[in-house]
Structure 1
Amino acid sequence: MSTSYEVIVLGSGPGGYVAAIRCAQLGLKTAIVERENLGGICLNWGCIPTKALLRSGEVLHYMQNAKDYGLKVAGEIEADLEAVVKRSRGIAKQLNQGVTHLMKKNKITVHMGEGTLTGPTSLTVKGEKGEEKLSAKHVIVATGARARDLPFAPADGERIWTYRKAMTPTEMPEKLLVIGSGAIGIEFASFYNDMGADVTVVEMLDRVVPVEDHEVSAFLEKSLTKQGMTIMTGAGVEDLKAARSGVKAKIKDKSGKVAEHDFTHAIVAIGIQPNTENIGLEKLADMDRGFIQIDPYGRTKSKGLWAIGDCTPGPWLAHKASHEGVTAAEAIAQELGNKDVHPHALDRNNIPGCTYCHPQVASVGMTEAAAKEAGYDLKVGNFPFIGNGKAIALGEAEGFIKTVFDAKTGELLGAHMVGAEVTELIQGYTVGKQLETTEAELMQTVFPHPTLSEMMHESVLGAYGQALHI
């Protein structure tokens, strides 16, 4: 016997559970299928628990530098790794329970188990209730992704880690190798460096956080090096072998020289692999390197089958997945006859990216190089944290905010930041881009004083030669 719904969501990460909630809000009978934890990787093993770890590292950093704020700390300052991890896991558990509550509140049926598509709008679930057959008018695939292993050195959970083990260490790495300098790699490098590890970062491309503006990459590398990290760009790990006592890595540097290095642990952060194998997609969707190809609303080539989040083309970010979930839910409701919803296609140029290292990095839109390559004539503003009173008062005077405008129309093409709390500031520019603002509106906006956000105003003014405090 098959249980039927109007919408079934396969996967309960930040894309899946949000899609289910929006479907339920729109009056659709909705179910969600999850094989492990409600909330998915982001809530349980990604975005949230890593921020808890980073916060502990940040507090430790401030305690170690208390004298810079006119404060004295009595006694020895030390990190309790077990307690730090326990706090992080507690926060993840709290939020997992929150998603469970949201499912009940919105009357969404949860089927715990492994879901496999048997057609565009049907699937079987093998789990706590044995095998269940489910069908729906529409199915949304939101199965997410996992860390990619090095082909010659898969993670063993003991000496070679992916993000999951790096979040729950049983021992503190003394000498840590981080392979990859994207957001995940740099965040873990920053956390373990603050916690006292000797950290080396190896990046195959010519700069760290390579998707960011080149000036941000250069500033961040300089800052991380100043904090004590070893940064190797244009370099690659040729071989990685784990033993009981540690890890041996053969690293080719930018000059082509290969040398062997010893570490106690290694974190592999070289990208993701979509969770799209063995779930019945082979004939139902077009695939590219494992990622499900979709239209701007989440439709696949099969009628009634949709996909969102990290199992689809990037950027692979939780907030992008959530937004796609809402878009798909509203498009489904529209197809089912709801005339009051008006879904909008996702504009990937307006998706902000954030990296929660120390200093933080945030951006939205085009880098200066990308805008030049696209043929724009540019106006570029750059304002340093040292010119901002709030930043100086906070003891966080390192960083800058950069804005990139189309010189002909005044359109804000991109914004790029590095420094304290920029992951909160970036949303101001994201709203501006969504509203298609120009430099004129941003110049006429009154920013409160004293705040870090004043630097956003100054950067815009600077692009047009009107900056006031430099």
Structure 2
Amino acid sequence: MSKTDFDILVIGGGPGGYVAALRAAQLGLSVGVVEAQHLGGICLNWGCIPTKALLRASEINHLLHDLDTYGFKADAVSFDFTKIVGRSRAVSKQLASGVAHLLKKAKVPVFNGYGKLDGIGPEGKRKVKLSQKDSAETTLTARHVILATGARARVLPGLEPDGKFVWSYREALVPDELPKRLLVIGSGAIGTEFASFYRNMGSDVTLVEVAPRVLPVEDEEISALAQKSFEKQGMKVFTSAKLGPLSKNATDVTVTVEAGGKTHNITVDRVISAVGIVGNVENLGLENTKITVDRTHIVTDALCRTGEAGVYAIGDVAGAPWLAHKASHEAVMCVEAIAGKTVHPIDATKIPGCTYCRPQVASVGYTEARAKEAGYKVRVGKFPLIANGKALAMGETEGLVKTVFDAQTGELLGAHMIGAEVTEMIQGYVIARSGELTEAELTETIFPHPTISESMHEAVLAAYSGALHF
């Protein structure tokens, strides 16, 4: 094959796209990647990774102002905000460079530009029109095309990012200075993580959510504990809120918020809009295909196939859940299916969700309410971190582990956690969900002591024979 003809051509180089290319290369398939902006996609460059670098800095700042709890004392603690932001960008750059190295090592060519479906060519291969800056359009061909173009921030009328007063996640990641007063609209993972970062760096933060509770996709009990913690940290939180007009002043912004039967005029230095995402489906040539788009997302079957033969879609552009690890898993599954391997469709109830606010939140499977709605009779176990020795020793006693079991079979239906490092621990429950384990296997599992993970065992015992340490 020529350098413009492939078994698989991937449009988009994010966590879905580049992983698809690497797996295809491992399987001996010829593969190319078309990427318009930056390898690693939003996740590595403007999402998952740089936010975690910022959040790490804010955790350190929080600890430095809580030293007396641990017997330490430091005077005139300060930080260089420019260096904090700079470190975040450096971490992203390093990982993006690593992706480029991996693709080069796998001998996967990367075309810097935009790809657009352009009908069928010789031998029934898909044609993709490649547009590159300062170059004439060229045509690439492939037997299979994987669309992995991701998504971008949803923009609401009146809340358009202006680069100054109203920020999307991009502006929020690279601020010139720390705002004294900040309004965050939307309390999903993106909104709460930015709210946590700026609050722990010292900003006066107001968090607004139109749903009845913060982190609305999480278990209600976990959401309530998260809001209680946010407010304890000094955040102002409004739920079931209605936003009024936004008025930009010379140096700040005033927003009207209706909540709890009252009207609040809130004046802040900056506003972060974190109200969801929309799929990047424009200019892909979809209009001349049998591909269906539903609410900005490409419709696929369980194996990522679209309505157009030979065209697939993975990751955020293919719909919820909008998670990098879901995109990567879809990438491997899609490529292996193309290669003729036996694959298993993804079960969304076995995909973990993690939010890196303070305290962290992690979950997998059914919430208690959803399990009951699905017709299950449930057994629920709970264990508070204040009763865990390691959490107490660390000074991280705020949190809860909650398990939901099928009362008839003992199968673990869901697990929900809030507290220190729960994003690292949730994988234990994910393995249990994937392996269809019951309370019997989990009860017999030996957890190391002293660890916060012991609370996971206790939450299982709490649903049946009873927790031993609470």
- What is the TM-score normalised by the length of structure 2? 0.97
Name the residue aligned to 2:172.
166
Name the residue aligned to 2:123.
none
How well do the aligned residues superpose, as a CA RMSD in angstroms? 1.2
Helix, strand or coil for the counterpart of 1:23?
helix
Name the residue aligned to 1:141.
147
Aligned in 2, Cα 1:123/1:2: closer, same or farther, shift over 3 Å?
A: farther
1:264 aligned partner, one-letter code: D
Compute the displacement of 1:241 (Å): 2.9
Q: Does 1:213 align with 2:213?
A: no
Are the counterparts in 1 of residues 299 and 306 from structure 2 also a CA contact under 8 Å?
Answer: yes
Name the residue aligned to 2:239.
233
Runs of 5+ in structure 1 lacking a partner? Answer: 335-340
Name the residue aligned to 1:435.
435
Compute the displacement of 1:200 (Å): 0.2
2:158 aligned partner, one-letter code: F
Once the two structures are overlaid, the 10-residue window that deviates more, 265-274 or 145-154, is 145-154
- What is the TM-score normalised by the length of structure 1? 0.97
Name the residue aligned to 2:352.
352
1:9 aligned partner, one-letter code: V
- Aligned to 1:280, which of 277, 282, 285? 285
C-alpha distance in 1 between matches for 2:183 and 2:411: 42
Helix, strand or coil for the counterpart of 2:286?
coil
Name the residue aligned to 1:29.
30
Name the residue aligned to 1:64.
65
C-alpha distance in 1 between matches for 2:99 and 2:248: 38
Name the residue aligned to 2:275.
270
Residue-by-residue CA offset, 1:35-72 (whole Å, 9 max, x unaligned): 00010000000000000000000001001101111112
C-alpha distance in 2 between matches for 1:211 and 1:422: 17
Compute the displacement of 1:330 (Å): 0.4
Are the counterparts in 2 of residues 439 and 460 from structure 1 also a CA contact under 8 Å?
Answer: yes
Q: Does 1:316 align with 2:322?
A: yes
C-alpha distance in 1 between matches for 2:324 and 2:151: 11
C-alpha distance in 2 between matches for 1:283 and 1:236: 40
Are the counterparts in 1 of residues 159 and 273 from structure 2 also a CA contact under 8 Å?
Answer: no
Residue-by-residue CA offset, 1:100-159 (whole Å, 9 max, x unaligned): 000111111100012211137221111144322111000000000000112122110111
Residue-by-residue CA offset, 1:316-369 (whole Å, 9 max, x unaligned): 0000000000011101111xxxxxx32211111100000000000000000000
2:5 aligned partner, one-letter code: S
Name the residue aligned to 1:413.
413
Name the residue aligned to 1:188.
194
Compute the displacement of 1:237 (Å): 1.4
Q: Does 1:15 align with 2:16?
A: yes
Number of residue pairs matched?
462
Once the two structures are overlaid, the 10-residue window that deviates more, 280-289 or 265-274, is 280-289
Name the residue aligned to 1:382.
382
Compute the displacement of 1:466 (Å): 2.2
C-alpha distance in 1 between matches for 2:293 and 2:273: 25
2:167 aligned partner, one-letter code: W
Name the residue aligned to 1:370.
370
C-alpha distance in 1 between matches for 2:294 and 2:332: 24
Map residues 62-211 of structure 1 onto 2, 5 A cutoff: 62-73=63-74, 75-119=75-119, 121-128=126-133, 129-211=135-217
Identity across the alignment (%): 55
Residue-by-residue CA offset, 1:194-224 (whole Å, 9 max, x unaligned): 0000000000011000000000000000000
Map residues 445-456 of structure 1 onto 2, 5 A cutoff: 445-456=445-456
1:267 aligned partner, one-letter code: I
Moved over 4 A (4+): none
Once the two structures are overlaid, the 10-residue window that deviates more, 315-324 or 244-253, is 244-253
Q: Does 1:401 align with 2:371?
A: no
C-alpha distance in 1 between matches for 2:116 and 2:418: 43
Runs of 5+ in structure 2 lacking a partner? Answer: 121-125
Are the counterparts in 2 of residues 2 and 132 from structure 1 also a CA contact under 8 Å?
Answer: no
Residue-by-residue CA offset, 1:244-277 (whole Å, 9 max, x unaligned): 401111111132x433221100000000011001
C-alpha distance in 2 between matches for 1:179 and 1:79: 27
C-alpha distance in 2 between matches for 1:273 and 1:436: 34
C-alpha distance in 1 between matches for 2:268 and 2:182: 6
- Aligned to 1:259, which of 264, 276, 280? 264
Compute the displacement of 1:304 (Å): 0.4
Name the residue aligned to 2:338.
332
C-alpha distance in 2 between matches for 1:188 and 1:349: 26
Once the two structures are overlaid, the 10-residue window that deviates more, 195-204 or 126-135, is 126-135
Compute the displacement of 1:2 (Å): 8.8
2:416 aligned partner, one-letter code: H
Name the residue aligned to 1:337.
none
2:128 aligned partner, one-letter code: L
C-alpha distance in 1 between matches for 2:383 and 2:352: 20
C-alpha distance in 2 between matches for 1:243 and 1:8: 49
Are the counterparts in 2 of residues 296 and 345 from structure 1 also a CA contact under 8 Å?
Answer: yes
